[in-house]
Structure 1
Amino acid sequence: MKTPNEPDTIEANDGFDSQAGDVAVSDRPWEELTRLAELGDPESLEEFLSELTTTDQALALSRLDENHRVQVLEKLDAEDAADLIAALPEVQAADAIASLEPDTAAAIVQELPSDEQADVLGDLSDQQAAAILNVLPVVEADAARQLASYDDDVAGGMMVLEMLRFTPDMTVADVIAELNKNADIYSDFDVRYAYVCDHDDALVGVLPMQNLLFVRRGSKLSELMITEPISVLDTTPLDDLIELFDAHHFLGVPVVDRDGRLKGILHREAVNYEETRAAESDYLKSQGIVGGEELRSMPLWLRARRRLSWLSINILLNIGAAAVIAYFQETLQAVIALAVFLPIISDMSGCSGNQAVAVSMRELSLGLVRPSEVFRVWWKEVTVGLINGAVLGFLVAICAVIFDGNGYLGLVVGVALFANTLVAVSIGGVVPLVLKRFGFDPAVASGPLLTTVTDMCGFFFVLGLATLLLSRLVV
């Protein structure tokens, strides 16, 4: 969801920590929620959920089977059910809405903020989303369709439509009358700022609401507003938005289209949320979780298929590393101590390479490096690799001498680790740039390529050097 969870306000203790009437909150809240769902008493459900923290609400609802989850959401009023849905991760929120009848789902979706409506509907199938949109009021359905048309990582996909919008010829008295007339509607809005638009909806100013406190009621907004405010296009990408909010202490900025018409408001917390979500998605991809997100509440076969799609490719890639060992099988049989150090060479080189991948990914996300700057990145990584490779090679060489008492074994593994560290940091630094340049996702492909190449090269360096010095290693 676009808006982070509200802070928890109840501290939990071991066992049963609080009592609300006959309802007790335990460390397994889903069991009590299941029991209350079967009873079907809305008041008991509301009472129990009110005693849970936001995190425990999400935990309890996510552990229910579909039938009990439907019972809970149907028994609660739409506003409370929307609060419960908002506590869930986006995938689980969409699954919960999808399991409901369109009328019930629409009533709950209608209570969500506009950006969260778009998120939930965007995660549903086209048929499910259409069924809900057909039940929503026309104005809200059109707004949800508008937001759902944007990508999640641009300003339009993160903005909210709830805002105070006035015209420059309105007076302070007009604004106060409007706020009083629609107090129920505006109570959930962020009312620190109002946005002043002309009759073509073009943004002309921003009005801090405190400016209304000490002025004449007859003053026009054109006299009080901040003219030429900073705004962003609805197509502005996430990286540019992060840079904007890092440079300014804004709580939010207006979002406009190419004609300058006000489309919505983008809050800082929405940008922070998407930045965190993007980082989490990249991390999951780098670990082979295809699709960028996995929760254990997802269907078993879906989770297995997503993981296998990456793992099965990794088997093919690792055959290359196994082939190197098979080629030098006689050397390995003659100097069995080499088998002890093969995984060390592989693992240490992989760690060095992953560090280089992380730095390249970070610089790409911040715009500090371009995909075309391959040589510059390679040289920067090689200079680090020379130092770290020498240090690590020396340390592992000492370990080999202590382990086997043969200085030549130390020379073999030390030089191999030094050389493989250079290979690892080179690949780790350069591959994300190359993949990005050719339109591939560097978060997905960098890891398997790095692992395979460092394993193959590491085994080749160790066993190849050992073959050259075999007479010195065999005592």
Structure 2
Amino acid sequence: QTVGNVLKQLASDDDDFDRYRGQHPYILDADGRPVGVVSLRGLLTAKRSMPLTDIMITPMTVNVDASLEALDDIFSEHPFLGIPVVETDGRLVGVVSRSAVSQALLERSESETLKLQGLVGDELRSMPTWLRSKRRLAWLSANIVLNIIAASVISAYEETLTAVIAIAIFLPMVSDMSGCSGNQAVGVTMRELSLGLVRPVDAMRVWLKEISVGVINGIALGILIGLVAWIWKGQPALGLVIGLALALNTMLAVSIGGVVPLLLKRLGQDPAAASGPLLTTVTDMAGFFFVLSLATLMMPWLI
């Protein structure tokens, strides 16, 4: 076709023009394969008698089975509003827009967030009550078993806890604050996974990034809670135990939160649904262990 033919068609067929939102026209060969693309500006500035082959450029295409991550990479690297989608034989089957990819990434991110909170399967309150309850109980029931394991750590140090009862006040603080740090790391990893910014093979790089933050935050939080324990109970040794335990547990929590979602993804498991319970249980167990084992070592200065 010539430039004049195309402009005349666009001007006479408003519905067709609206459907494609004014995107650049693609030129197809006789078999329906994209061979070129022209800009609207190019059409308006070219001579009406000029054939499209004289002003078109070779288009970039994507296969119908291209992943959302691959599409996101293309739109990140190129300022395209849309890109042609072709079958394996090269025939044009449609166009995917930048806005559609952005919307799909947003919806997937929201779905992962719900799973992270234990709401598996995009739960809605309009669903049957029994179905909603069953979906939530699947993970909550498993969490009971994991928490029993965490409680067994306390039982192993019962004598230390009895001798220094003040430690019991700080046990939930250490596990909870570490869990918050770990959840921040989980949130960042899940977001980057959903956007295709990290893959399971990037686990070591992610861990190095997280542990650097964990060391800084762990030391800062450890000093803060250590001073609170010292001033509140009047025991410098207690402040040292609680502060050091929180620092170590924070480093462990961010390591788990940053890396475990990637490892679960590598194993074919759902990282959004499983990372939360694993993080919570491990940080509880480790927090109890750090506090009670350090207290046992420093028992002469605590009683």
Deviation at 1:379, TM superposition (A): 4.1
Amino acid at match of 1:196: I
Higher relative contact order, chain-length normalized (CA < 8 Å, sep 6+) = 2
Query: How far apart are residue 247 of structure 1 and its match?
Result: 1.9
Shift of 1:209: 3.5
State how 1:281-292 maps to structure 2 within 5 Å.
Answer: 281-291=111-121
1:103-123, Cα deviation, whole Å (9 max, x unpaired): xxxxxxxxxxxxxxxxxxxxx
Question: Cα distance, 1:378 vs. partner?
Answer: 3.5
Aligned to 2:25, the other structure's residue is in SS state strand
Q: How does 1:57-96 map to 2 (within 5 A)?
A: none
Conserved? CA contact 1:361–1:432, under 8 Å: yes
1:280: which partner in 2? 110
Q: In structure 2, how many angstroms separate the alpha carbons of the residues matched to 1:313 and 1:194?
A: 55
In structure 2, do the counterparts of structure 1 residues 184 and 472 end up closer, same or farther at CA, with 3 Å as the change threshold? closer
Give the whole-Å Cα distance in 2 for the aligned partners of 1:195 and 1:463: 69
Kept in 2, the 8 Å contact 1:290–1:309? The answer is no
Mapping 1:163-242, distance limit 5 Å:
170-176=1-7, 178-179=9-10, 182-184=13-15, 186-224=17-55, 226-242=56-72
Deviations 1:82-109 (A, max 9, x none): xxxxxxxxxxxxxxxxxxxxxxxxxxxx
Q: How many residues align?
A: 303
**CA-based RMSD:** 2.4
Q: How far apart, CA to CA, are the structure 2 residues paired with 1:194 and 1:466?
A: 73
Code of the aligned partner of 2:125: R
Mapped to 2, the partners of 1:315 and 1:454 lie a distance apart of 15
Structure 2 unaligned runs (5+)?
none
Deviation at 1:196, TM superposition (A): 1.2
Whole-angstrom CA distance in 2 between matches of 1:179 and 1:368: 40
Aligned amino acid, residue 119 of structure 2: I
User: Equivalents in 2 of 1:431, 1:270: separation in Å?
Assistant: 30
Give the structure 2 partner of residue 348 of structure 1: 177
1:286 and 1:279 mapped to 2: Cα distance? 10
CA–CA separation in structure 2 for the residues paired with 1:391 and 1:345: 13
Residues 187 and 371 from structure 1, CA distance in 2 versus in 1: closer, same or farther, beyond 3 angstroms? closer
In structure 1, the residue matched to 2:251 is 422
| Conserved? CA contact 2:108–2:194, under 8 Å | no
Cα offset for 1:267? 1.0
Q: CA deviation at 1:468?
A: 3.3
**Any residues of structure 2 matched to 1:130-149 within 5 Å, and which?**
none
Q: Which amino acid aligns with 1:265?
A: V
1:288-367 alignment to 2 at 5 Å?
288-291=118-121, 293-365=122-194
Identical columns (%): 55
Which letter does structure 1 place at the counterpart of 2:24?
A: Y
Report the residue type matching 1:248 in the other structure: H
Give yes or no for contact 2:112–2:190 (8 Å, CA) kept in 1: no
The alpha-carbon deviation at position 258 of structure 1 amounts to 2.5
**1:256 maps to 2:86:** yes
In the alignment, the residues of structure 2 paired with residue 370 and residue 174 of structure 1 have an alpha-carbon distance, to the nearest angstrom, of: 48
- The one-character-per-residue Cα deviations of 1:402-424 (angstroms, maximum 9, x if unpaired) are 11111121122112112212221
In 2, the alpha carbon distance for the partners of 1:329 and 1:370 equals: 43
Give the deviation of 1:449 after TM superposition.
0.7
2: CA distance, partners of 1:231 / 1:349: 47
Q: What is the rounded CA distance, in whole Å, between the counterparts of 1:387 and 1:175 in structure 2?
A: 62
TM superposition shift of 1:185? 5.1
TM-score normalized by the length of structure 2:
0.89
How far 1:177 moved relative to its partner? 5.4
Cα distance in 2 for residues equivalent to 1:272 and 1:206: 23
Q: Is the 8 A contact 1:232 1:255 kept in 2?
A: yes
Cα distance per residue 1:59-102 (max 9 Å; x no partner): xxxxxxxxxxxxxxxxxxxxxxxxxxxxxxxxxxxxxxxxxxxx
Q: TM-score, normalised by structure 1?
A: 0.59
Note if 1:433 corresponds to 2:262.
yes
Partner of 2:235: 406
Higher helix share: 2
The separation in 2 between residues aligned to 1:372 and 1:303, in whole angstroms, is: 35
Structure 1's consecutive aligned runs of 4 or more residues displaced over 6 angstroms after TM superposition are: none
Equivalent residue, structure 2, for 1:145: none
Q: Which runs of 5+ in 1 are unaligned?
A: 1-169
Aligned mates of 1:415, 1:463 — CA distance in 2: 12
Q: Distance in 2 between matches of 1:344 and 1:316?
A: 22
Preserved contact between residue 24 and residue 40 of structure 2 (Cα < 8 Å): yes
Q: Distance between the aligned counterparts of 1:445 and 1:393, measured in 2?
A: 28
Separation in 1, partners of 2:3, 2:41? 11
1:390–1:199 CA distance, 2 compared to 1 (3 A): same
CA contact (8 A) 1:197 1:204 kept: yes
